[in-house]
Structure 1
């Protein structure tokens, strides 16, 4: 009853445009006041502080800043030119370029919104100029940007790992196959639609152009190698890799490409501070809500009720997917993680689901949630760049959402898709 009431009140507050972090804090305060009295507010203050000061969470502002530095220093444009030279000759190649650039950018920023902002402002106008409808251009950009929370390093995985006490490094490794498989299938869908709509090729195949754009993008391409190489070899933690990403983006932008001056650096830092403030306020208030739910024994009661009904992990996985898909339509990714993970982890452990497996499931659900209105933060950003209607674009986006849903089902019921790499590396 407490969980149902909490969820209804929270979603009601969000639907009347109360900021999500404020809504979560209000629900936490109200819950403490009605159940244990205001004396618990002292514990809530401590939860607010400790919830936002976990060491793994330091990676979030650093990856956000790295993505902003890439945008302002022209690194993303050089990546776009190189990938266009490689696959632009295929029918619908510009759409595939969009997906390919998103996959590379995902390996640096970990943020889908940063991804769509970086690639969309350059590629969507060019796609429209070359015959893509504005809705198709927006749909490809939006769906491919959501790969940023599946392919490591992922801010969503960092949040999940910190809250569930799961290894962030293992989550990163587990996301590699689903992320690249998703990117490949999105390209296949783009080709099918390109043939159907007779879309043009972006460029002719030219080895000299590939060599030229590779030289220009060489230093930009070292960024994912530095970040992922450092994480996967165990040389650095995810948080240290985020610091490396900032340093490398700054160094390349200032000393290699020469596009990052004080004005652009200031803008990048201010944008990073603003985006970080939103995320960390969500983290802090949701830690307080998690404390209230834990003291009210809500997670334990939920786990007991479901395990009394069934202990079949496949049924439980289906129920969890349904819950996450519905919540993803109404909550931003960070808020969904913070609200759901403390509640369902006892259930996940009770039925023997691997926390890493569930973490990849959760990020895939959130990727779909970023595409499904009414919240659909990534889709809305893409639509604003393309100047297309949200509901019209959503219809065009259905085949791409179908690809993400297929990857979700594959990961859910074939756990080795996500777990095989961590198992091989840990041997």
Structure 2
């Protein structure tokens, strides 16, 4: 048994690439054909996203008990390996393993874990495939399942990963799903068994005066997402949706989705009172547009807009800080919590938009080109007096398209304070991030 991992590494890193050498030169892919026309194949990919950043921390933030106004850190946002393939005309498998959010504060020598592991059977050409396993075939909107290697801005709009790490694993769920295309209608539907709240580090397992995910055994969760693709068709081989096609496609999609779970949430009407259950009901509509502008110069425009109406139960709110570089607060801290956290998800309505412009392909000669972008999330949550308004702007330096990409991004977020009048916005803080992405 101890020799098994060595044999696996030998196969993948010595024998497997030898069979790929001609294919690799032609397409820059680690892909091995299983039949003559290549319709049956096995493919291997790798992605690493490294963050170097400075965070202006929320008031009252501490690191290991010490006050810290701002924090500089270096971390691994995502490190992923995908292995997937079409084994026969009917049978497809997909696995993804790796790790997320490795920081100087985290546990050392963390192991890799599976993000995805699924099997799929095509029942009716491209019209209907069914599958099951640990999977990202999710509703409620486009970036509930983002393709992390092609994100337009620095990061995906994480509020769309609506149950992230509460009842799922980095958006993946244990599901039975159906997906396919009817002419220009692309659809996905899934029935999922939520993961136990008792195993989540996001929230506690006891009801309070505002809604949280119920710690009692969960019922099934039904969710789906539907896109009408007016122009070029997008691939649905995997569940993950592209953020930008870099001038290679002309895409115009209108989408709508939902997520529903009966009695998924609980709260107390008053301290010491009975526990009240409520349903989780989320709805969305969105639009994605990606257009080549000048074919000879390879310039392109990318637009995305979304509206979400989310009912998580009475006054639900979740503060989330991406790869938070801090780990504590004082008694005088803001409502946001430590570090870079802010109220990202909650019961109420959210608008999100992003725009990016791909500049001409030889803008920097052999050093590639630039893609500036702007994004914003505007949310009105029932618990808060004021709207959440966050915005980000920056640019991608595309040296070898998404395979070698450097990004610089500034994020501005609101700070909320609690008072007798309620929870209202008082100030803003920022975060400056440099990302180095390498993928194949």
TM above 0.5: no
> What TM-score, normalized by structure 1, do the two folds share?
0.24
> Relative contact order: is structure 1 or structure 2 higher (C-alpha 8 Å, sep ≥ 6)?
1
Task: Kindly indicate which of the two structures has a greater share of residues assigned to helix.
Answer: 1
Q: Which has the larger radius of gyration?
A: 2
